[in-house]
Amino acid sequence: MKPVFSLIVPCYNEEDCIRETHRRLSAVMRDLAQPYEVLYINDGSRDATAGLLNDLAREDKAVRVLHFARNAGHQVAVSAGIDHAQGQALVIIDADLQDPPEVIPRMVERWRAGAKVVYGQRRARRGESRFKLLTARWYYRLLNSLAGGAFPRDTGDFRLVDHQVAEVIRAMPERARYLRGMFAWAGFEQEALLYDRDARFAGQTHYSLRKMLRLAAHGVLSFSEKPLLWPLWAGLVWLAVALVLALKAVVFFFLGRGNPGLLLPFLLCLGVGMVLSSLGILGAYLARVYDEVKGRPLYIVADARGFDPQPPPLHQARRRA
Ligand code: UDP
Ligand code: MG
């Protein structure tokens, strides 16, 4: 029987959380009294996560596990989950219990009332550093001013998604995955659901500053072309300045007053700086075009448990012609 609900749980080195997470998820899902599956994506964990997940798959018929051949990142793991989910409604939830499973029934209620995407909006965030909260706020402001105000703030990946919207995401071939942006882009009836985000149940965050910056860059570069145009506007301003200076030099020449001293080197430095930064912005986009054009599979499934029929054992290319 096809499940009504698919839970998608990306796991990277979560050995201390898995058991408790599964217990709480199962309790909530049993109360909903509908067939469900729990899809755990082991994103190349190096601790005991793989074995624990296989144990769960043995004990619980609702469990499916995908083991990646290597760490591909949270957004890719969730994408794989979306690809393999069979439910009518998909729920994306972290493995560390920061997103309380008890919120799921409220999401389901909104879904039954007609919403196609119910995204969790954080009211409180426990156990996060000041730095993370502040940078997140600035970032969403920047992203929204660049991308036309389409992205809800204080929103992560914790959400319920109707299978119709999931189908749209499956059809999006891009490798630079910024899922919350992709969901916003998909449209449909979307609703916010306020919740309090908890601290991690155990362990530490796997989102290093580097990964966070990468995700932030994906968001801006994937959903806004404006940065590509900045150098153009700046360049035009500088051309105008150059024109004025040229005219001034001509006037000075005819009045026999010579030319103004330090201005030139200053302008030279500034000009070079501008050219270089323009090239840099072009490069940022070009790098992404290159990455997309390579068209490599987004992830590689090394092993799978609990699926019927089994997904292709080794390669799972995202692109379906
Ligand atoms: N995660 C993943 N791959 C990674 C990093 C994280 O699958 O490379 C998973 C992780 O196991 C957790 C979720 O993504 O279920 C969110 O990660 P984390 O809690 O470390 O990030 P934070 O909540 O601090 O932003
Ligand atoms: Mg977390």
Q: Model confidence over 12-29: pLDDT tens digits?
A: 999 999 999 999 999 999
- Report which protein residue has its CA nearest ligand 1's atom 24: 205
Amino acid at 176: A
Once rounded to an integer, what is the mean pLDDT over residues 63-76?
96
Tell which wins on pLDDT, 185 or 225.
185
- Residue 32's contacts (CB-CB under 8 Å, 6 or more residues apart) are 5, 104, 105, 108
* Ligand 2 centroid to residue 205 C-alpha, Å: 6
- pLDDT higher than threshold 60 for residue 319: no
3-state secondary structure of 202: coil
Six token digits for residue 126: 């426990």
* Ligand 2 centroid to residue 82 C-alpha, Å: 19
Query: How high is the pLDDT of residue 229?
Result: 76
- pLDDT higher than threshold 90 for residue 102: yes
- The vertex-305 CA angle with 303 and 308, nearest 5°, equals 115
Name the pLDDT band for 100 (thresholds 50, 70, 90): very high
* Ligand 2 centroid to residue 103 C-alpha, Å: 16
Alpha-carbon distance of 37 to 304, in angstroms, equals 14
Alpha-carbon distance of 7 to 90, in angstroms, equals 6
Name the pLDDT band for 264 (thresholds 50, 70, 90): confident
For residue 84, give Cα distances in angstroms to 6, 78, 149, 260. 9, 10, 31, 69
Q: How many residues are recorded in the chain?
A: 321
Tell which wins on pLDDT, 105 or 261.
105
Q: What is the pLDDT of residues 76-94, one digit of tens each?
A: 999 999 999 999 999 999 9
- The vertex-184 CA angle with 136 and 180, nearest 5°, equals 45
Tell which wins on pLDDT, 225 or 165.
165
Report the half-sphere exposure of 45 (CA within 13 A, side-chain side): 24
Across the chain, mean pLDDT equals 87
Query: How high is the pLDDT of residue 103?
Result: 96
For residue 238, give Cα distances in angstroms to 231, 245, 272, 273. 10, 10, 12, 12
**Of 320, 319, 304, 305, which Cα lies nearest the Cα of 69?**
304
- Report which protein residue has its CA nearest ligand 1's atom 2: 74
Q: What is the pLDDT of residues 200-247, one digit of tens each?
A: 888 888 888 888 898 898 888 888 877 877 777 787 887 787 778 778
Question: Which of the ligands is closest to the CA of residue 8?
Answer: 1
Phi-psi region of 256 (alpha: psi -120 to 50; beta: other; left: phi over 0): left
Residue with tokens 């201390």: 16
- As for ligand 1, residues whose beta carbon falls within 6 Å of it are 10-12, 14, 43, 71, 73-74, 77, 94-96, 98, 205-207
For residue 35, give Cα distances in angstroms to 54, 56, 229, 265. 21, 17, 50, 72
* Ligand 1 centroid to residue 216 C-alpha, Å: 15
Tell which wins on pLDDT, 304 or 192.
192
Tell which wins on pLDDT, 316 or 175.
175
Tell which wins on pLDDT, 256 or 57.
57
> pTM for the whole thing?
0.81
* Ligand 2 centroid to residue 96 C-alpha, Å: 6
Name the pLDDT band for 312 (thresholds 50, 70, 90): low
Query: How high is the pLDDT of residue 260?
Result: 60
Alpha-carbon distance of 177 to 167, in angstroms, equals 15
Six token digits for residue 315: 């390669």
Q: Are strands 117-125 and 155-162 parallel, antiparallel or unpaired?
A: antiparallel
Q: 21: exposed, middle or buried (C-beta count within 10 Å: 0-12, 13-18, 19+)?
A: buried
Question: Which of the ligands is closest to the CA of residue 157?
Answer: 1
Cis amide bond preceding 309, omega within 30: yes
Alpha-carbon distance of 184 to 152, in angstroms, equals 8
Question: Which of the ligands is closest to the CA of residue 78?
Answer: 1
- Report the Cα 33 to chain-centroid distance in Å: 31
